[in-house]
Amino acid sequence: MLLIGCAEPAAEQPESGSEAGTQTSPETDTGTDADDATEPAAPEADDPEASPDSDAPPFGTESRGSYDAPWALEFLPGGEQMLITSRYGELFLRGTAETDASEDLSVAGLPEDIVVDGQGGLGDVVAAPDFEESRRVYLSWINSSEAGTGAVVGHATLVDSEDSAELQDLTIIWEQDPKTSGSGHFSHRLAFSPDGEQLFVTSGDRQQLDPAQDLDSGLGKVMRLTPEGEPFPENPFAEDGDVTEEIFTYGHRNPLGIDFDAEGQLWVSEMGPEGGDELNLLEAGENYGWPEASNGSQYSGAEIPDHTEGDGFAPPAAWWTPSISPGSLMIYQGEMFPDWSGSAFMGALSGEALVRVELDGDQAGEEELWEMGARIRDVEQAPDGSIWIIEDGDGAELLRLTPPE
């Protein structure tokens, strides 16, 4: 049975042991656990008893092409074009009309130092708030140094014509600190605040666990920056200097989805270990518990204390055991599906599903899970209100979802 919980009341959450695991399994250390973009579904998701019964999805699906190892979708202002990243280090510009299904332009001018390994590669892409004037886009990717690998964020100007597209003046504005060994839990999702003045970057724990609780480390955090990559001056630890002044929240494992709701509240979807995937409402300076608290267990079998009232950690608004492995987050604000306005949508990787969670203020409510028969890497809302999802892996389909006829 798929267990879905909400943060209140804490007593309804299943109990686990009181001793936190100290190490992940060798699988996790090499970046090949259920989070990994190249791995098959987690065992619990393959168990028929672990998959809830579901009716036919209340939407029609329309294929708009396929891609190898896609990672992120971004609709450009105006709604006529979109960008698609591939973890392999490719960026595609394409039209959104049905007749544009095969009219992809391969974008030149990408970083030359992209490291494609494990969960690493080219990651997120978002348009700048002033894109219509500046043509600026923001990208995240993985590079390396003598210290190891880590995520970086840069911005560039997108220049395109009918038959070519190029990034110009690419500038790195942020680097994950510290770099470390391994090839997992980079996270590196991006989101701008509604006012366009704050850039949020998710920074995973790199499978190192303890740094998520260390305010002198940039791992296991959500960072808040200016559009030029400087620490946002109103950050909760702004007076502490160094990487600490970038931190907005901490105690995260692998936050792979981030989005704002219509009220301006910031939400993050996060992969737990074995179970304990989370949907969190972020508040400046809060500690979300990893690895001291989680409603999941270590892959080694070691237990971790569950989130409980009064433990000093911010509890998840919703959580999932067994794992669904949320790889993305979109909060719907369109008109094509009026009953879903304000709902959070997550693409489930090991769960091979599209998940909807109804949001009401700071609370998570009704949930629905629609089996899609494939790992879902990203989900985005198009300007016309349709929902687009892209599968994970090679030959992954890009699908447009609309109300059934």
pLDDT tens for residues 1-53? Answer: 344 444 433 332 333 222 233 233 323 333 334 454 333 333 333 343 334 44
Residue partners of 73: CB distance under 8 A and separation at least 6: 82, 83, 84, 378, 379, 380, 388, 390, 398
Q: Which two tokens stand for residue 200?
A: 């949020």
166 confidence band (pLDDT: 50, 70, 90) = very high
Sequence-ordered alpha helix ranges (H) in 56-153: 131-134
Edge-to-edge order in the sheet of strand 221-225: 187-192, 199-203, 221-225, 247-250
Least confident of 52-61, 121-130, 194-203, 270-279: 52-61
pLDDT classification of 301: cutoffs 50, 70, 90: very high
Summarize the confidence of residues 147-164 as an average pLDDT: 97
Q: Residue 252 catalytic? A: no
Helical segments of 226-325, H only? none
Between 200 and 54, the higher pLDDT residue: 200
Catalytic residue chosen out of the listed positions 155, 185, 188, 252: 185
Identify any residues that bridge with 125 across adjacent strands, giving them in sequence order: 139
What pLDDT, on a 0 to 100 scale, did the predictor assign at position 28? Answer: 34
CA 193 from chain center: how many Å? Answer: 16
Q: Give tens-digit pLDDT for 210-245.
A: 999 999 999 999 999 999 999 999 999 999 999 999
Local structure of residue 96 (DSSP, 8 states): -
Return the DSSP state at 212: G
Instruction: Classify the C-alpha dihedral 214-219-221-222 as positive or negative.
Output: positive
Spatial neighbors of 110 by CB under 8 A, at least 6 apart, are 89, 90, 91, 122, 139, 167, 170
- Domain locations in the chain? 20-402
Q: Which of 16-20, 42-46, 84-88, 271-275 has the lowest mean pLDDT?
A: 16-20
CATH fold for the domain made of 20-402: Neuraminidase (2.120.10)
User: How far does CA 239 lie from the centroid of its chain?
Assistant: 29
Mean pLDDT, residues 148-161 taken together: 98
